[in-house]
Chain A
Amino acid sequence: MPGESLTVDHVAVDYGTLRVLQDVSLDVAPGEFIALLGASGCGKTTLLRAISGFVKVASGRILLSGQDITSAPPDKRQMAMVFQSYALWPHMTAAQNIGYGLKLRKVPRAEISRRVDEMLALLGLEGFGERSVTKLSGGQRQRVALGRALAIGPRILLLDEPLSNLDARIRQSVRHEIKALQAQLGITAIHVTHDREEAMVMADRIAILDAGNVAQLGSPEEVYNRPVSPFVAAFMGADNEIRLRVERRNGEIHIPASDHNDAAVLLDGESANGDGVHVVGPGCGDVVAHFRGEAATLIAAGERPPGGLVLRGRVRQMSYPGGIYRYAVDVGDRRFMVDDPRRIEVGESVGISLPAAALHLYPAELGRHEVAEE
């Protein structure tokens, strides 16, 4: 089953007078697994529903292997969707649910039952075919829903948060199952999720949506290591932010000392091949630096490690989520969340040590949701 390409070309969607998708473009290669990632209300489900045909597109085009399907009704698009609620029909058995699409296509009965058995085997549901879907567990229902979608050999597989109703433990293994199945079948898939880790694990590329726009589209490494905007950085976990005044010269970033930080000279990521600071924009003057709590370490008040930036503050809260301690550290009037394996008492003065590679710099005048001009 060769995958098909999908092109979303400057698509906008309105709900009444509210524009929920601004101007979204997306090119999906044949056989690719794309995750649409974003907080609730960002437009990711709307985009999926526009692709499936349930939502009317206000402007722009949607192409399936070069063919314009923008105004085709959902039943003519030959896509299949797996729903968050599974949407299994309670008046049919598992086998009837899976075979429904084939029956609509007037496939002969013997062929249907062969294909359904094949699908049940593929999903590890042998012997469950005659069960009523109301008598299946959540994980089994989820697989029947997947089987129902895959049985018709859809041109595109659409996954609308299919894992969010599963137990956390089952979810881990189902992620890999779905990904493996999709790769094995070579089918193009679009997956909507608000779970960052799920998107990272499953997708070839991730489109991060923000307020109806694609904030960044790239491989999991790209969106994690090189977020293009403060929003993406924060969304991908680099949600500690501090304002700094910096200078950029000779492949180095110079940060003068202030009340809250020591002076530092850091490698510029552009020249240092991934080990240096990730700089977006000109990289001088007022910038906002983003970093992940787990990329920092806490050091004693007097300690001065070589390289990296050190912020000076005081521990205000401590918690133990397991394996490491999580500290809330106040630096001036700002509070940072930092992980550290050692136990430090609340009230102690500490330094937050940030290696150059942990820092993402964005121009300070840049809005949170804007992307800097290169």
Chain B
Amino acid sequence: MNRSLQLWLAFGWIGFALLPWYVADRGFWSFGWLGSGAPFSSDAGSALFLGLLHEPTWLLFLAVPLLAPLAVLGRERSDPVFARTLILSGAVGFAYVFLQGFTIGIDGWEFPGLEALFGPTDLRQAGMGYGAILAAATFLFLLTTGIAAKGAINGDRFVVGSIGLIVAAVAIFIFFPVFRILISALQDNDGAFAVRVFFEKLFDRRIWGVGCLGGGVRCGVAWNSFLLAVLTGLSSTILGLVFAVIATRTRFRAKRLLRVLTMLPIITPPFVIGLAIILLFGRAGLVSQFLWDVIGLRPTRWIFGLPGIWFAQTLAFTPIAFLVLIGVVEGVSPSMEEAAQTLRAGRWRTLSSISFPLIRPGLANAFLLGFIESLADFGNPLVLGGNYDVMSTEIFFAIVGAQNDQGRAAVLAIVLLFFTLSAFLAQRLWLGRKSYTTVTGKGDSGRPLRLPPALTAGLYGVALPWAALTVVIYVIIMFGGFVELLGRNNSLTLRHFIDTFGITRGQFGLVFSGLAWNSFFTTIWIAAVSAPLTAGIGLLTAYILVRQRFFGKGVFEFGTMLSFAIPGTVIGVSYVLAFNVPPIELTGTGVILIISFVFRNMPVGVRAGMASMSQIDKSLDEASLTLGANSFTTVRKVILPLLRPAIFAALVFSFVRAMTALSAVIFLVSAKYDMATSFIIGRVENGDFGQAIAYSAVLILVMMVVILLLQVAVGRRQIHRREDVQGNALEGLAG
């Protein structure tokens, strides 16, 4: 009965007594410590032997919460002593692991107050290693098993354990870093708390200045970001609506093509559109040169700044608005419109009095999404910004620039977070209750209202040029790499591909001599490792949210979706601040990249899982439970096989997003672990547009291939309505 408990206690003891407690210098995956005297030596010792033979005697206390559960192993699960012992041991052990880690850091006491209390200390700790991780996991398991034994969630250990795992992970990798930013913002550059400095920085004119209204001086970055976000939100929503109406309400032939176009931005690294825009409309751009040659219009740098970023972001985020709005427009039941028409409302009247009010919450939703995406966007402002500073790039320059002002970066991050969280809260709390479009599941007969011809013409007039522009942009991206320097020297060449992805025959066989190979392989592997982790934790969270009821579920859901609203730059800064020093020391490793992807993309997996899982009737699980399967077996045998489309969607999206992410990554890459996107940005900054665009094209192709392969590997579900389920999974991702 208590097999898993015995197993976990064994793990705990291994972590405590055998594995090195502190992180090895050589990296997470290196096993050099095996030869360096583990578990007895001071640099690879386990907690037990470090405590016995070396300085950190306080680690020995952990033996207590590891011994106590042994005493109750023989007891029944229903015995209150069993539950109480496990809860107490787990909570004490878990808290102690982290408290001691945060109390004694790499330079002794972490908090000035402690030094006053206990005097100066020579004690030093490095970051937590395998032993600490395993011990912490064991304590977490003891705690959740104890809570389950007390009767929470019907005594289901699997569910309580999963909740515990997700809560702990989200707390450590989302809440703790964000909290760390707040602390950082309150400190001056020497680490002392300085509230006045904080307020000075918070109300800095560089952030909030409104000088531009009077003409002359520039406005603060907060207003710049806000204006850009509002413009992008509006334009992408309007265009998204136009395309959604065309796709659902007209006899437009190439509707499938529209759907394909919507997939494109998902596999396009965020700054690539900006890059293509430079190649078209920059001073040496194709279009600019053409205009100069033909009508003598002198090329300027007008595209750099607000117009360019707005343009690029609208191109990038319109498909997202489209995906949201197509569901909303389809949700307007034709019979509601027919009901209005039977009451003698004309076409325009029906549209304005029935259809439009029904989609209004959807429009607000699309706007807020575009708003958040625009604020969080880092790549396009970086490439096209010119003198127009926005917060996401300012944060970056505050950290990496000459100023290296962490406090300013933290303050900017807080302001940015305030904007995105407000939009996110507005979307969840206000719009959450306002959706009128309900899908009843029953077939709704009736034909959608035919649009007035004038309106149809207007829609085409907007949509077709825009679609053509999108196509041109992608042609530039895919083929621009074959040209010497687009605009200036349009001769064909393979030089850029050879420079980046060349393979030469060297002394010892083939050599990957291209510049890009290193970052390319790193990117593929990091993405390949993080995708199943993201899908796993996302689907597990979705299962818990859809299928389980427990106290605090609303908070749990909010916490897991929160990282959706945290811009990548903020995550990047917060990870740098939080995981640069013990007890959790991760910067410069590949692990930090994987973790940042897992938690940034987790909401995607959660949404895909929730969308599909709510289509699977709960009685399918219950039938399995009554037949004697526990919840873990039920998930494995019944839910997972039925969730294939969601698994597919979550894997694809987390893989692709890991490959295209830039904003958080650019803070976290190191010489050893460089990623494709940050490499490309480096090329762009050097002016090597050819290499950058060639690399981007290769990335996009690789992602397409991976999507196809995954589709074959995961397979499609062989039941009817599969298209619906898949469609819903994808729409869940967009919303």
Note all chain A residues with C-beta closer than 8 A to B155.
Answer: 71, 73
Q: Is the CB of A89 within 8 A of B629?
A: no
Q: Is the CB of A54 within 8 A of B624?
A: no
- How far, in angstroms, from A78 to B628 measured CA to CA in the complex? 6
Q: Is the CB of B623 within 8 A of A73?
A: no
Is B620 located at the chain interface by the 8 A CB criterion? yes
Besides A53-B625, A85-B619, 16 other A-B contacts (C-beta < 8 A): A53-B154, A54-B622, A73-B155, A73-B630, A75-B628, A75-B630, A75-B631, A81-B623, A83-B619, A84-B619, A89-B620, A91-B642, A91-B717, A104-B627, A104-B628, A158-B626
Q: Choose one: B156, B622, B628, B717; the contact of A105 (CB below 8 Å).
A: B628
Note all chain B residues with C-beta closer than 8 A to A90.
Answer: 642, 719
Contacting residues of chain A (136-158) with chain B, CB-CB under 8 angstroms: 145, 148-149, 152, 154, 158
Is B670 located at the chain interface by the 8 A CB criterion? no
A277 to chain B, nearest CB (A): 46
Note all chain A residues with C-beta closer than 8 A to B633.
Answer: 104
Is B529 located at the chain interface by the 8 A CB criterion? no
Q: Is the CB of B642 within 8 A of A152?
A: no
Is A79 located at the chain interface by the 8 A CB criterion? yes
List 12 interface pairs A-B (beta carbons < 8 Å), by A numbering: A52-B626, A53-B625, A73-B630, A80-B626, A81-B626, A83-B623, A87-B620, A87-B623, A101-B628, A104-B629, A104-B633, A148-B623
**Closest residue of B by beta carbon distance from A77:** B626
Is A100 located at the chain interface by the 8 A CB criterion? yes
The listed residue with most A CB atoms (<10 A of its CB), out of B156, B633, B717, B719, is: B719
Is A56 located at the chain interface by the 8 A CB criterion? yes
The listed residue with most B CB atoms (<10 A of its CB), out of A71, A73, A76, A134, is: A73
- How far, in angstroms, from A87 to B155 measured CA to CA in the complex? 24
Q: Is the CB of B625 within 8 A of A74?
A: yes
Is B720 located at the chain interface by the 8 A CB criterion? yes
The 8 tightest CB contacts between A and B, nearest first, are A101-B627, A87-B619, A87-B623, A83-B619, A90-B719, A74-B625, A73-B154, A91-B641
- How far, in angstroms, from A80 to B628 measured CA to CA in the complex? 9
Note all chain A residues with C-beta closer than 8 A to B617.
Answer: 85, 87
Q: Mark A19-47, 1 if CB is under 8 A from B, else 0.
A: 00000000000000000000000000000
Q: Choose one: B154, B625, B627, B629; the contact of A148 (CB below 8 Å).
A: B627
B511 to chain A, nearest CB (A): 48
**Closest residue of A by beta carbon distance from B623:** A87
Q: Mark B713-729, 1 if CB is under 8 A from A, else 0.
A: 00001111000000000
Q: Choose one: A73, A85, A88, A91; the contact of B156 (CB below 8 Å).
A: A73
- How far, in angstroms, from A83 to B623 measured CA to CA in the complex? 8
Q: Is the CB of B151 within 8 A of A71?
A: yes
- How far, in angstroms, from A100 to B627 measured CA to CA in the complex? 8
- How far, in angstroms, from A149 to B631 measured CA to CA in the complex? 18
**Closest residue of A by beta carbon distance from B639:** A89
A89 to chain B, nearest CB (A): 6
Note all chain B residues with C-beta closer than 8 A to A145.
Answer: 623
Is B577 located at the chain interface by the 8 A CB criterion? no
**Closest residue of B by beta carbon distance from A82:** B623
Note all chain A residues with C-beta closer than 8 A to B630.
Answer: 73, 75
Is B635 located at the chain interface by the 8 A CB criterion? no
Note all chain A residues with C-beta closer than 8 A to B623.
Answer: 81, 83, 87-89, 145, 148
Contacting residues of chain A (58-84) with chain B, CB-CB under 8 angstroms: 71, 73-81, 83-84
Is B230 located at the chain interface by the 8 A CB criterion? no
A226 to chain B, nearest CB (A): 35
The listed residue with most A CB atoms (<10 A of its CB), out of B623, B624, B627, B641, is: B627
Contacting residues of chain B (306-338) with chain A, CB-CB under 8 angstroms: none
Note all chain B residues with C-beta closer than 8 A to A100.
Answer: 624, 627, 629, 637
**Closest residue of A by beta carbon distance from B625:** A74
- How far, in angstroms, from A154 to B156 measured CA to CA in the complex? 22
Q: Is the CB of A152 within 8 A of B638?
A: no
Contact flag A79-B719 (CB < 8 Å), given A73-B154, A85-B617, A91-B641: no
A157 to chain B, nearest CB (A): 10
Note all chain B residues with C-beta closer than 8 A to A101.
Answer: 627-628
Q: Choose one: A71, A74, A91, A104; the contact of B622 (CB below 8 Å).
A: A74
Note all chain A residues with C-beta closer than 8 A to B620.
Answer: 87, 89
Note all chain B residues with C-beta closer than 8 A to A89.
Answer: 620, 623-624, 638, 641-642
Q: How large is the interface on A (under 10, 10 to 19, 20 to 34, 35 or more residues)?
A: 20 to 34
**Closest residue of B by beta carbon distance from A49:** B622
**Closest residue of A by beta carbon distance from B626:** A81
Note all chain B residues with C-beta closer than 8 A to A132.
Answer: 718
**Closest residue of B by beta carbon distance from A54:** B622
Q: Is the CB of B626 within 8 A of A75?
A: yes
- How far, in angstroms, from A100 to B151 measured CA to CA in the complex? 27
**Closest residue of B by beta carbon distance from A102:** B627
- How far, in angstroms, from A101 to B622 measured CA to CA in the complex? 13
Note all chain B residues with C-beta closer than 8 A to A83.
Answer: 619, 622-623
A133 to chain B, nearest CB (A): 9
Contacting residues of chain B (575-592) with chain A, CB-CB under 8 angstroms: none
Note all chain A residues with C-beta closer than 8 A to B720.
Answer: 134
The listed residue with most A CB atoms (<10 A of its CB), out of B622, B626, B642, is: B626
- How far, in angstroms, from A73 to B629 measured CA to CA in the complex? 11
Q: Is the CB of A152 within 8 A of B622?
A: no
**Closest residue of A by beta carbon distance from B622:** A54
Q: Mark B602-644, 1 if CB is under 8 A from A, else 0.
A: 0000000000000001011011111111110100011001100
The listed residue with most B CB atoms (<10 A of its CB), out of A74, A81, A85, is: A74
Q: Is the CB of B625 within 8 A of A75?
A: yes
Contacting residues of chain B (681-735) with chain A, CB-CB under 8 angstroms: 717-720
- How far, in angstroms, from A91 to B154 measured CA to CA in the complex? 28
- How far, in angstroms, from A79 to B623 measured CA to CA in the complex? 10
Note all chain B residues with C-beta closer than 8 A to A88.
Answer: 623
Q: Is the CB of B619 within 8 A of A152?
A: no
Note all chain A residues with C-beta closer than 8 A to B619.
Answer: 83-85, 87
The listed residue with most A CB atoms (<10 A of its CB), out of B620, B628, B629, B719, is: B628
**Closest residue of B by beta carbon distance from A100:** B627
Contact flag A134-B154 (CB < 8 Å), given A74-B622, A104-B627: no
- How far, in angstroms, from A71 to B718 measured CA to CA in the complex? 38
- How far, in angstroms, from A91 to B151 measured CA to CA in the complex? 33
B172 to chain A, nearest CB (A): 30
The listed residue with most B CB atoms (<10 A of its CB), out of A54, A56, A158, is: A54
Q: Is the CB of B719 within 8 A of A91?
A: yes
A300 to chain B, nearest CB (A): 48
- How far, in angstroms, from A51 to B625 measured CA to CA in the complex? 13
- How far, in angstroms, from A326 to B641 measured CA to CA in the complex? 54
The listed residue with most B CB atoms (<10 A of its CB), out of A56, A78, A81, A91, is: A91
Contacting residues of chain A (333-357) with chain B, CB-CB under 8 angstroms: none
**Closest residue of A by beta carbon distance from B641:** A91
B73 to chain A, nearest CB (A): 21
Contact flag A74-B638 (CB < 8 Å), given A87-B620, A148-B627, A158-B626: no
- How far, in angstroms, from A132 to B627 measured CA to CA in the complex? 20
Note all chain A residues with C-beta closer than 8 A to B626.
Answer: 52, 74-75, 77, 79-81, 149, 154, 158
**Closest residue of A by beta carbon distance from B619:** A87
A189 to chain B, nearest CB (A): 14
Q: Is the CB of A87 within 8 A of B622?
A: yes
Note all chain A residues with C-beta closer than 8 A to B717.
Answer: 91
Note all chain B residues with C-beta closer than 8 A to A149.
Answer: 626-627
Note all chain B residues with C-beta closer than 8 A to A75.
Answer: 625-631
Note all chain B residues with C-beta closer than 8 A to A73.
Answer: 154-156, 625, 630
**Closest residue of B by beta carbon distance from A83:** B619
- How far, in angstroms, from A79 to B156 measured CA to CA in the complex? 18
**Closest residue of B by beta carbon distance from A81:** B626
- How far, in angstroms, from A213 to B720 measured CA to CA in the complex? 42
Q: Is the CB of B622 within 8 A of A56?
A: no
A98 to chain B, nearest CB (A): 10
Note all chain A residues with C-beta closer than 8 A to B624.
Answer: 89, 100
- How far, in angstroms, from A85 to B642 measured CA to CA in the complex? 17
**Closest residue of B by beta carbon distance from A97:** B623
**Closest residue of A by beta carbon distance from B638:** A89
- How far, in angstroms, from A12 to B420 measured CA to CA in the complex? 46
